[in-house]
Amino acid sequence: MKIEILGPGCAKCQKTSQEVEKVAKQLGIDAVIDHVTDITTIVNRGVLFTPAVFIDGEKKIEGKVPKASDIEKWFKK
């Protein structure tokens, strides 16, 4: 599973990263987590508001920190 967290490294982006990593670890998910901070790349992916989370190329959330319960649902699909 490939997880991408897109954002410039702001506090919300860092919190998103922490939450995603925590839930992945709790569920025993084998995932590669990439942090995309390049603004051009972020915009080219269609993201207008950060943070954004992509799982296997599919955008799951944009512009807010996801709740742990939402992250769990993404992993269980």
* Distance from C-alpha of 6 to C-alpha of 15, rounded to nearest angstrom: 12
10 given a catalytic annotation? yes
Q: Which of 8, 9, 10, 73 is catalytic?
A: 10
* Tokens describing residue 27: 């569920």
DSSP state of 61: E
* Tokens describing residue 28: 């025993």
Q: Which of 3, 5, 6, 13 is catalytic?
A: 13
13 given a catalytic annotation? yes
- Enumerate residues 6+ apart whose C-beta is below 8 A from 71: 19, 20, 23, 24
**Active-site positions?**
10, 13
